[in-house]
Amino acid sequence: MIPSLPQKDSPSQQQQRKQELSTLQSQYIYDHDTRVQPLGVAQAPLPKGQNFSFIWGLGTLNQALGITANLISIGSRIFDARPSNQPNESSVGDEELSKVEEAYLQLKAHHLNLSRIFDQTHVLSAKNTSVAHEVASTVQAAVGAVTARFSPGGSGGGSASHLTPSDIHGAHPALPESLDQFGENLKSTLGELLHFLVSEIFELFLRYVGLYGQASGLSSYQAQFQLLPLPRDAGVALDDLMFARLRVAGPNPVVIRRITAPDSRFPVTDAHYRLVMGEDDSLEVAGKEGRLYLADYQVLEGVQAGTYPTQKYFTSPLALFAVPKAGSPDRLLRAVAIQCTQQPGASNPIFTPKDGLGWQVARLFVQVADGYYHEMISHLGLTHLLVEAFVMATARQLAPEHPLNVLLTPHFQGTLAINNAAVESLIAPQGFVDRLLPGSIQASTQLAVDAVLRFQFNHELFPLSLAARGVDDAEALPDYPYRDDGKLIWDSIHGWVVDYLSLYYGSDEDVAQDYELQAWLAELTSEQGGGLQDIGQDGAIRTLAYLADLVTMIIFTGSAQHATVNFPQSYVMSYTPSLPLAAYAPAPTAALASQPANVDALLAYMPPLQQSFMQQTLMELLGKLYFTRLGAYDRYSATSYFQDPRVRASLKSFQQRLEEAESIIARRNLHRIPYRTLLPSEIPQSINI
Ligand code: MN
C-alpha cells in the first residue's frame, strides 16, 4: 500500500476510505465518563490490535521477577539465616509467625509461577516466528540476568524448590493456545501478585523483616535493595548541589522559569541571597543577568490532602535557584531559598541552606511537591493522556492509507493499553496513586485532567515552552541537559517529519484541501472528541510548516518527553529518600531553622517503610521497561514498516541523525554530570509503560 492524500484519490477510493473510517469509528469509541472525565479516552474493551504485545508482556514479566526475587532475598536473609525457631527481633507476635512463614512461602510461589510463565515463552516464541528473533536477542538476555541471579533452588532461592504448583494455583499452568491467552495469563498472574503485595499477611511479612513503620535510618531504605541494584542516583536530593540539579536533569525538569526578581509572594532578600551565593554577588545583579530561576508549585495550592492509608502532607512551595556569575569555578545551578507555601509570613518562613534542619525539611517539601507535579501533571496528564487524544482522532479520522496515519501509528503503540490500565487501576480509589501520592485521589486525578484541558498546545511546542520559561539562553543557564539533549531530539524528529510529509504534500494548498486532516483537527478540539485547545491555525490546518511542527510535537511527546519523565522513576524515584512521593508530617516552622542539620530527624517526614516499599515496586515496574526504540520502525518485523520506497532515504537520515545525537550526548556526558535520559537508544518510540 502506498499512502495517499484523500483529495488525490479517485472517487471510488474516496468511497472506500469513508467506509474504512466508518468501521473504525464503530471500534474506537470515546468514553467521556471514566475517572478522567470529561476527557475522552478509548472505551474498553480496547479495539483489536491495541492490547499489549507479547514482547511488552515479557518485559513486564522481567520486572515482576526482579521485584519478587528481591523480596525473597530480603526474606531469605531473615528466615534462612535464623537459628531454627528463634524468633527474630520484630513487632510480630509468636502467634503471627506462622502467618509470616505462610507469606514467605506464597511469595516464593508467586516467583515460581512467574518463572514458569517465562519458561513457556521459549515454546511460544518458537511457534511464532514473528517474535522469535526479538525474544531471542533482547528479552531473554534481560530475563536471564534476573533468573540466573535468583533461580528456585539456587543460591538465593532457599527452599522454593520444594513448593508444589498447587501452593498457589492448583494445576501447573497449561501452555496457552495463543499469544492473546498468554497475555491474559500474565495479566492475571501479575494481578494476583499485586493483590498479594497489599494483603494483610504480606504486611506481617514486611513487619517481620523490618520494612515497616518509620525508618530508623537511611539504611532501612537502602535495605529494600537486596538483589535490585540501589539506583545510581540514590540520595541526590540530600545533597544541595544535586537537589538543584534535579531541576534541570531530574524526573521533572520542566518547572523552573527565569525571573528578574522574586515577587511579593516570596520576599527573598539580598541578605538571604548573599548567604548562599557569596558577598561578591547580589540578588539584583543576578536578576539583571538572567541568573535567577524560580520553581513555583502554585498549581498545588488548595489541593486536598490524602488520608489513605494514613494522613499525608504536601505544600505548594516556591524555591529560588541561581547560577553563579560568569567566571565562577562552575556554573551549576544552586539552591538559594525555599518558602513552603505561597503566602509569606512568620508562620511560613524563608529557609536557606544555612538553616539546618529547617532547610532539610523545606527541601523535602519541594521534592514532594515536585514528585506530585511530576506524576499527575507532567507524566500522566501531559504525556499519557494528552497523546491519547491523538491516538483516537488518528484512528477515527485518518484512513489507514493516509500518510499521517502511517507515520503516527508506531508512535501510538501500547498507549491505549497502558492508559486503560492507568485509568482502571492506577488511579482507582486505594490504588497506587491514592496510596502513595499526597493528595486525595479525586484531587490528584483532577490535576492530571486539568493539565490536559488547559494545555496551550501551540504555545507549548518544545522550543517555544523553553523560550516561554526563559530557559533557552545557554549563556545564562549553561547546565540544562534536558534542554540541550531535548533540542537534538526535537530537531532530528522535525527533520524527519518535514522530509516525510513533503513526499505527500507538495504545497500548503495540499494541506488545506486534505479533508481527512481537517476532520482530524476538528475532532481533536471537539468536546465530543479530544477537547484540546490552542491547536490548529484558526480552526484549520493551513500550512505544511505548521503541520510539521504539530506532528513533531506529537512524536516528541510520545517518545522523548515521555522518556524524560518516565525512566527517572527507576533511577531516581525508586529510592524513596531521593524523592518521597508524600510527606508524613506537617511543613516546617521557623523553630526548625535553629536546629542543626540531622538526617535522622528527617525520617519522621519520610514515607513509612511499607509505603516506601510500594513506591519502590511501582517505580521499578514503570521505570525500567524499554519497549521499542525511537526511529527503529522495523525492529519487530522482517519487512520494512514503510512500504513507500520513497521513504527510505529520509528514514535513513533520521536514523543517522539519532546516531549522531547519541554520540554527541555521550560526549557531553564526559564533560558534565551525566544525564542519560535522552540518549536516543533509551527513548522508546511510543508511550507504553
Ligand atoms: Mn509512563
Local structure of 305: helix, strand or coil? strand
409 Cα to the center of ligand 1, angstroms: 18
Q: Is the pLDDT of residue 542 over 60?
A: yes
Over range 294-312, report the average pLDDT. Answer: 98
Over range 220-226, report the average pLDDT. Answer: 95
**DSSP tag of 586:** P
Q: Is 430 left (phi over 0), alpha (psi -120 to 50) or beta?
A: left
486 Cα to the center of ligand 1, angstroms: 18
Where is average pLDDT lowest: 147-151, 244-248, 506-510, 588-592?
147-151
15 Cα to the center of ligand 1, angstroms: 38
**DSSP tag of 323:** P
380 Cα to the center of ligand 1, angstroms: 7
185 Cα to the center of ligand 1, angstroms: 23
pLDDT tens digits, residue range 133-152? 444 444 444 444 444 444 43
Tell me what pLDDT residue 140 has.
42
564 Cα to the center of ligand 1, angstroms: 10
Tell me what pLDDT residue 164 has.
43
Tell me what pLDDT residue 129 has.
56
For helices 481-504 and 544-556, give the axis angle rounded to 10 degrees.
130
Q: Which residue has the cell 493528595?
A: 439
Which residue, 317, 174, 321, is CA-closest to 240? 321
671 Cα to the center of ligand 1, angstroms: 29
User: What is the residue-wise DSSP string for 173-230?
Assistant: PPPPSSHHHHHHHHHHHHHHHHHHHTSHHHHHHHHHTT-SSS-SSHHHHHTT-SSSPP
Residues 192 and 186 sit within 8 Å (Cβ to Cβ): no
402 Cα to the center of ligand 1, angstroms: 28
Over range 644-670, report the average pLDDT. Answer: 98
pLDDT range class, residue 174, cuts 50, 70, 90: low
pLDDT tens digits, residue range 546-571? 999 999 999 999 999 999 999 999 99
pLDDT tens digits, residue range 9-20? 999 999 999 999
Domains and CATH numbers, the chain: 6-46+382-575+626-682 (1.20.245.10), 54-209 (no CATH), 234-365+581-600 (3.10.450.60)
Over range 150-177, report the average pLDDT. Answer: 45
**DSSP tag of 537:** B
Tell me what pLDDT residue 11 has.
98
pLDDT range class, residue 185, cuts 50, 70, 90: confident
- Report CA-CA distances (Å) from 644 to 16, 154, 174, 407: 20, 52, 43, 11
565 Cα to the center of ligand 1, angstroms: 7
pLDDT range class, residue 355, cuts 50, 70, 90: very high
Tell me what pLDDT residue 118 has.
82
Tell me what pLDDT residue 155 has.
36
Residues 169 and 111 sit within 8 Å (Cβ to Cβ): no
606 Cα to the center of ligand 1, angstroms: 24
Q: Is the pLDDT of residue 68 over 80?
A: yes
Average pLDDT, rounded, for the chain = 91
- Which has more pLDDT, 150 or 443? 443
572 Cα to the center of ligand 1, angstroms: 15
176 Cα to the center of ligand 1, angstroms: 29
Tell me what pLDDT residue 172 has.
52
pLDDT above 70: percentage of residues in the chain: 91
373 Cα to the center of ligand 1, angstroms: 14
pLDDT range class, residue 600, cuts 50, 70, 90: very high
In the chain, % helix, strand, coil (3-state, to 5) comes to 55, 5, 40
Q: Which residue has the cell 543557564?
A: 477
The Cα–Cα gap between 604 and 595 comes to 15
The Cα–Cα gap between 274 and 269 comes to 9
